[in-house]
Amino acid sequence: MFACPATDDFFRSRIDHMIDLRHPLAVLASRMPWQEIEARVAQVFSRKGRAGVAMPDLDLFGEQVQRVAVASNAGRPRVPLRIMIALLYLKHAFNESDEDVVERWGETPTWQFFSGQAYFEHHRPCDATTLVKFRQLLGEEGLEELLAQTINVAVELKLIKAQELSRVIVDSTVQHKAIAHPTDSRLLEKARAKLVEAAKEAGIDRKQTFAKEGKELGRKAGRYAHARQYKRMRRAIKRQRTIVGRLQREVERKASAIGAAVRQALRETLNKARRIVDQSGQRKAVDGQRKLYAWHTPEVDCISKGKARTPYEFGVKVGIASTLNGNLIVGARAFHGNPYDGHTLGEQLEQATILMQDRAVKPATAFVDLGYRGVDADNPDVHIVHRGKTKRISAQERRQLRRRQAIEPIIGHLKADHRMDRCHLKGETGDRLHAVLCAAGYNIRWLLRMIAKKGLTFLQRLYLRLCTMASVSPNWGLALRSWPMSASRTASTAASA
């Protein structure tokens, strides 16, 4: 896991000589199952067959690579897998962007020690765009593996009992999308600009672009709305709708005259413009007709959670599952289409069961709010407890139900400290990846707090000191198997290592 002492550089000091090995992040770096994590996600990066590329043949002696005379297109060497995984953990644990996390990594020795580096390196580990590609390669299944390992570490360190995983609290929240507040005026102006841009790329000449008038109408609509002059505001929006409809029909007519290929290329843009024109002319939403709230993110939903300050939120519904005692997150999943909370419970518990399968535990009791009523028949293997069952549950469950509110501050920390307040990742896939990563970042911070709270015993501190004096990386597995023991036996074990 760490570099061999025989490779020590005479002119550089090792990171474990520079930092305090009692730091919670340093302790966690030694206890994370890095080799197991790499082995489980390495299958994503296995070589796949491609057209025109020779693959290794299997014979009696194993793989036999076919030599094909092709030009070399080798690029930069791949960044170590542990560094990329550690960057994802650190990004969401300390609320950093992709650009900031790679910059801060090059300036923080503790972060580099957590990433498996033997020597301090004052440069960025990779480009920020590499994190984007790495997330996409891992997918939701790979990121759920990262979340599952944080649960395994919490149980192995005895920071939470394994039986506590069987009692979970489930609730839902809204993960906001990185979009501006949707108004008819702003959407119509965006549709006008996109129609003009798409027509220009397709080589279609337009009679008029309405650029100056469109911008002026957008400013007028905003001022009229602020002054509560709604009749004038609706008059400006009506003119914007007329402009966008005229452009949409003109572009569609000329694209059909040019050819079917051009019309096919412009179909998505024309459909979005038509949807915006239609919905801006309706005072109320039509049942079964989904509205478009942002041009670049058509998957965004308008969700009402009953809040007085923010009655409507624009994003995706996310289900969160945490332990009843301990506040450790054991599940996080995004649900598109704004489903009823109770209809998400089955999938949420299924994900929690998969994440806890290494511990051979699955949720047996779920504490929920009244939004999850009426789904007992859909989840026969789980005992669902909410305050609507006050007369049908035991006294112990009534006392335990008081802790259901503990998930509310967990959701608050996810949004304030771990980047769930605003999702910048693209599409529905980005929403799902972001929800799991936020939960993994929360669990990392949870582990750091519990390690600092639990602290180190005297023998553990002595073991760390002896390892530092002997220039040996700490072997926590050997140490835990040999504890408790006398100080002299600890010293002899460290010296022999």
pLDDT of residue 317 exceeding 70, the answer is yes
pLDDT in tens, 157-199: 999 999 999 999 999 999 999 999 999 999 999 999 999 999 9
The predicted pLDDT at position 257 comes to 87
pLDDT of residue 328 exceeding 90, the answer is yes
Residues shown for the chain: 497
The overall average pLDDT reported for the chain is 86
The predicted pLDDT at position 306 comes to 86
The token pair at 81 is: 């897998």
The predicted pLDDT at position 245 comes to 94
- Quick one: 472 exposed, middle or buried, by C-beta within 10 A (0-12, 13-18, 19+)? middle
pLDDT in tens, 237-278: 999 999 999 999 999 999 888 888 888 889 999 999 999 999
The token pair at 3 is: 């570099």
pLDDT of residue 341 exceeding 90, the answer is yes
pLDDT of residue 386 exceeding 90, the answer is yes
User: Sorting pLDDT into bands at 50, 70 and 90, what band is 106?
Assistant: very high
pLDDT in tens, 38-72: 999 888 776 555 555 555 555 545 555 555 555 65
CA-closest candidate to residue 337, choices 404, 290, 405, 270: 290
pLDDT in tens, 412-430: 999 999 999 999 999 999 9
User: Sorting pLDDT into bands at 50, 70 and 90, what band is 462?
Assistant: low
The token pair at 244 is: 């966008």
Residue 300 near residue 293 (C-beta atoms within 8 A): yes
User: Sorting pLDDT into bands at 50, 70 and 90, what band is 224?
Assistant: very high
Residue 446 near residue 28 (C-beta atoms within 8 A): no
Task: Tell me how many degrees the CA angle 275-299-438 measures, rounded to the nearest 5.
Answer: 160
Alpha-carbon torsion (420, 158, 146, 463), positive or negative? positive
pLDDT of residue 459 exceeding 90, the answer is no
CA-closest candidate to residue 90, choices 439, 444, 415: 444
pTM (2 decimals)? 0.84
Q: Domains of the chain by range and CATH? A: 162-179+301-436 (3.30.420), 184-280 (no CATH)
User: Sorting pLDDT into bands at 50, 70 and 90, what band is 153?
Assistant: very high
Give residue 463's Cα distance to chain centre: 37
Q: What are phi and psi of 177, to 5 degrees?
A: -95, 150
**Once rounded to an integer, what is the mean pLDDT over residues 81-85?**
94
How far is Cα 444 from Cα 436, in angstroms, rounded to an integer?
Answer: 13
The predicted pLDDT at position 73 comes to 66
